[in-house]
Amino acid sequence: MINVLFAAGTENWTDYQSPLIQAFQAADLDVDLSLSHAPQQTDYIIYAPSSDLQDFAPYQNCKAVLSLWAGVEKIVSNQSLTMPLCRMVDPGLTQGMVEWVTGHCLRYHLNIDASLATPNGIWQPKVPPLAQERHITILGLGQLGQACAIALSQLGFQVTGWSRSPKTLANVTCTHGQDGLQQALSTAEILILLLPNTPATDNTLNAKTLAQLPQSARIINPGRGSLIEDAALLDALNSDHIAHATLDVFRQEPLPATDPYWAHPKVTVTPHIAADTRASTASQVIAENIRRGQAQQPLLHLVDRSSGY
């Protein structure tokens, strides 16, 4: 019997209990899934940062902590967590992100906002360019960034991707490092932020990097609120250097009603809906990692503590 502790909050238990049990059965795993297991008898922990569990020291026999979140910045620095930590790479979450990002890119590309704002009775035909004439840059070529880059390139867009270390992706211009960042920003008519939340990525988009974007560039941020220096973005919007920003994530969530983003005419706010972990597909990822752990095979999506993701 494999003892699996569900420490991802009681609010998630209702959604995950049945899909997890089905996934364990499909993987031929004999699992006792519970909201409470004695620490010394716990083999795996399914975790979310909203959990009350913060001290992992008693779980000396735990083989891995399996996060339900793609981001692990709220747990990776926990000094009591000495066992392997795996982040969630969920096919359902990835597909949701691809659909959301693609939708907003097409909204900008086709200038749909202008069409919706046109007063009745005014005929103003303006044919948009083809996708092959539009440059899109994605900062962050992890699982989500790569999936979005591939989808957009398949639509015909000229896609540039930037990452800290070198990456290769078919039909995508890949850059890296500080020089590569400037190159990636310089052509970005539409800029998408999909970097992780680490000290190195804080305020990636600031006054200096915003100035490196083309005039009237548009920004889409479904990644992390910490990637943007908010005051600098507001200044760039107010000076008309940036034409518009669609923001799904923020430093404080829910976004306070008094935040200037809400009322800004060049900002679209969405309430952190770009992508979410889906219980049905995430449960299959959890089950596969437990199967691997039991078979002493390498775990999927193992977090590199030194890089923070």
- Which position among 218, 224, 278, 301 bears the catalytic label? 224
Q: Looking at the chain, how many residues does it have?
A: 309
244 counts as catalytic = no
Task: Provide the pLDDT for residue 99.
Answer: 98
pLDDT (average), residues 121-143: 94
Q: Do domains 2-90+277-294 and 91-269 have the same CATH topology?
A: yes
224 counts as catalytic = yes
Percentage of the chain surpassing pLDDT 70? 100
CATH class of the domain whose range is 91-269:
alpha beta
Q: How far apart are CA 20 and CA 18, in angstroms?
A: 5
Task: Provide the pLDDT for residue 309.
Answer: 79
Percentage of the chain surpassing pLDDT 90? 89
Assign domain 2-90+277-294 to its CATH architecture.
3-Layer(aba) Sandwich (3.40)
> Token pair for residue 126?
């303006």
Q: Given the structure tokens 């940036």, which residue do they identify?
A: 242
Residue 268 has pLDDT above 90, yes or no: yes
Query: What is the residue type of 28?
Result: D
Q: What is the pLDDT of residues 180-189, one digit of tens each?
A: 999 999 999 9
Q: How far apart are CA 66 and CA 282, in angstroms?
A: 11
> Token pair for residue 194?
């999909």
Task: Provide the pLDDT for residue 113.
Answer: 94
Residue 119 has pLDDT above 90, yes or no: no
pLDDT (average), residues 272-284: 94
pLDDT (average), residues 235-244: 98
CB of 278 closer than 8 Å to CB of 93: yes
Task: Provide the pLDDT for residue 125.
Answer: 86
Task: Indicate the pTM of the whole model.
Answer: 0.88
pLDDT category at 248 given cuts 50, 70, 90 is: very high
- Which position among 176, 241, 264, 272 bears the catalytic label? 272
CA atoms within 13 A on the CB side of 221: 25
Q: What is the pLDDT of residues 68-104, one digit of tens each?
A: 988 888 899 899 999 999 999 999 999 999 999 999 9
Q: Is 207 helix (H, G, I), strand (E, B) or coil?
A: helix
pLDDT category at 112 given cuts 50, 70, 90 is: very high
> Token pair for residue 101?
């990002």
Residue 118 has pLDDT above 80, yes or no: no
pLDDT category at 203 given cuts 50, 70, 90 is: very high
Residue 276 has pLDDT above 90, yes or no: no
Residue 240 has pLDDT above 90, yes or no: yes
Task: Provide the pLDDT for residue 122.
Answer: 83
Task: Provide the pLDDT for residue 282.
Answer: 96
To the nearest 10°, report the CA torsion of 83, 87, 90, 94: -170
Instruction: Give the residue extent of every domain in the chain.
Output: 2-90+277-294, 91-269
Q: Is 99 helix (H, G, I), strand (E, B) or coil?
A: helix
pLDDT (average), residues 41-70: 95
